[in-house]
Amino acid sequence: MKYHLSDMLILEQVSLEPKKPYRIIRGIILKFQMDYKPSTGMIYPAIERLLKAGFVKRTSEGLIITEAGRKYREENQENYEMLISNFMDNKLFFRNLRKAIKDLINSIKEADKEYVKLHQDEIITQIGNIAEKVRNRE
């Protein structure tokens, strides 16, 4: 199964006790202690992915991790901890990044359709250039 950060966040939440989706979302919010709220559009597909993979199961009390889920979590724990550490160390940056990305998407939605059509390759290239700079630590 392809690694998803959202899967690991959910597995962490259900590893100690059964939780329903609302309590999973609340637990993630409390983990980060900031104005980040995972959307139901992120949580529910991740839950379905985890159920299909056999990493969680439904009980009357909520979702609970399975042995396969514990193994998956253990195998990916180092990568997960690195991502979470990076996120926690850079909360303000990520908050501002989310806002900038939302602003970019809204600007593209509101822009003249012909302009976007004519410049879409340039827009994608510039975004790709930023990603490349980050990857190469330029």
Q: Give residue-wise pLDDT tens across range 49-83.
A: 999 999 999 999 999 999 999 999 999 999 888 88
**Residue 24 belongs to domain spanning:** 5-89
Q: Quick check: 24 and 63 in contact, CB under 8 A?
A: yes
Q: Give 28-42 as a DSSP string.
A: HHHHHTSS----HHH
Do 20 and 60 lie in a common domain? yes
Q: Which one-letter DSSP state was computed for residue 18?
A: -
Give the number of domains in the chain.
2
Do 10 and 46 lie in a common domain? yes
Do 82 and 109 lie in a common domain? no
Do 68 and 10 lie in a common domain? yes
pTM of the complete model: 0.65
Q: Which one-letter DSSP state was computed for residue 4?
A: -
Q: Quick check: 95 and 103 in contact, CB under 8 A?
A: no
Do 77 and 10 lie in a common domain? yes
Q: For the ranges 48-52, 91-95, 106-110, 112-116, which has the lowest average pLDDT?
A: 91-95
